[in-house]
Amino acid sequence: MNKSNKLIVQGIEISLFSQKEEDYISLTDMVKKFGDEHILYNWLRNRNTIEFLGIWEQIYNPHFKPIEFDRFKKITAFQSTQQHTSSNDHESKSFSPTQ
């Protein structure tokens, strides 16, 4: 049986969900205190988060496919590097020591 509850933390309503004796909490609801869900999206793109999720899946998901995950990890690492490089290029172009 599925069961849903709400928790109020510092004025923010956070969804709690229980299924098969496992409890889940809404990360999207939690980040509402700090802005919008883009905080969560950025966190999910973080290289360390991706590594953590891969380890978590290896431990708890009997159907985890490590080879497919490695391909995904390489794609996200590449995109992250491109974004970081693009950001640094923009910063260096807009900086002028004579300003």
Which pLDDT belongs to residue 59?
Answer: 94
Query: pLDDT tier at 96 (50, 70, 90 boundaries)?
Result: very low
Shared domain for 60 and 88, answered yes or no, is: yes
Lookup: tokens for 92: 């260096």
For residues 43 and 49, is the Cβ–Cβ distance under 8 A?
Answer: yes
Q: Which residues form the domain of 10?
A: 1-34
Shared domain for 24 and 53, answered yes or no, is: no
Flag whether 77 is in a domain.
Answer: yes
CA separation for the pair 95, 99 (Å, rounded): 8
For residues 31 and 37, is the Cβ–Cβ distance under 8 A?
Answer: yes
Shared domain for 63 and 84, answered yes or no, is: yes
For 29-39, write each residue's pLDDT tens digit: 888 888 888 88
Shared domain for 28 and 53, answered yes or no, is: no
For 36-76, write each residue's pLDDT tens digit: 888 888 888 888 888 999 999 999 999 999 999 998 888 77
> Is 70 exceeded by the pLDDT of residue 84?
no
> Is 90 exceeded by the pLDDT of residue 99?
no
Q: What percent of the chain has pLDDT over 70?
A: 73
**What is the pTM (predicted TM-score) of this model?**
0.55
Shared domain for 55 and 20, answered yes or no, is: no
Counted domains in the chain: 2
Shared domain for 26 and 57, answered yes or no, is: no
Flag whether 17 is in a domain.
Answer: yes
**Which one is predicted more confidently, 26 or 88?**
26
Shared domain for 3 and 23, answered yes or no, is: yes
Shared domain for 53 and 27, answered yes or no, is: no
